[in-house]
Structure 1
């Protein structure tokens, strides 16, 4: 019997299926390990901007199939459109079975209001110069390919992998300022509208922190991405956490006040993962 972690809400964003930078196999490992009541796809899942007919590996197709399987098995799938999959915005408010397509969504989570949206609405470079943003995306693809070669060499030498793009972004003052401005605008709007949580993607920076101004406070959450960080957000036992594929290795939640009320079987299912045995290759 294969047990999976039960999660009330799982949030992923910025997968960029159809590009060289997407790490679909790692994402599949994660998705196969959970059993969410709600799966929120917070934008840029399929990269329609940089979609290449000749490049859409089986693992990328498997991610789409897994999402469809979730919906078929009763998981509510909410697809929030982003800038790289903005063509889907023409289908906003469409519902197909357990799958809905929206531009944003507000949920009531245990008496608290959570505001979910991708975040590109704050990005002036995208709004006013899409061709420039697309050009940047192609350069990013080239950087990812270069990074793969560097990491292949590091693996051969037995050394730790290295992210060129993360190093560049973290060292550029303009990029750091942009991220800080993004977080401030999102949280100021959330506080103004009375939201307890504001959940974004877009900037590929996983984060969870409390932001406060003179009008109040809110929790800012960003699901990161599956290009560099391999992160997701999970909501369970009335609390949020950032799941990190490289560090957590599917670590469980711990919440003493909730565990006392749980059935033993539910507890085991919530915190345990039993990996499926690998199939033997046929000769």
Structure 2
């Protein structure tokens, strides 16, 4: 049965990869597996995955620990992805007509040859719109190659800021609370509200910078303990834990968000 599969998040960053697997149980989610491995600092260049002997060795070693059936979700850096909203027509569209409508609209939404883009779409918080995500097929292929060489087959590539949103939705946050996730060269953010938003920022991370960027926020939270920020515990979203646990659970926030991502309909 589908719910028996492990749902796995894979978060690859410069210097490290974090993986986390969960499985649905009657009372909630069970942590089944986690791992953190060191990687070269130049594993990502402008968000594009650079294959290396160290990366392949880490992925192959990790693959040996997984069951035969799993759903793998891989995070993509924000700079690789373009996002637009598309108004739905007055006539209700179902698949495959909805897919044809999105494909036909892509040339107007993105200033790139449509055939070179991989498109994904989902309903936005406003039911009259679709959120359209586009990434270059050649970039997706570069990410896919070392994964497949290691015997891994991703079900989904997901924007890392949306993985953070999966965690934020479930904590949950009050309106105008801000959640950030620091990374080596940028930080991800999610702002709660009637129309929640998320994204990435390359400015130096400090409470003053966050307050200037988000003047309407009521408080700032972080997946990592930082002065001026309230630390959150991503693993509080899991009902069943098993020892040993990582020393810094915040490192796994994106992997957890990817694992929690609902299956596509």
TM-score scaled by length of structure 2: 0.31
- Structure with bigger strand share is 2
TM-score scaled by length of structure 1: 0.30
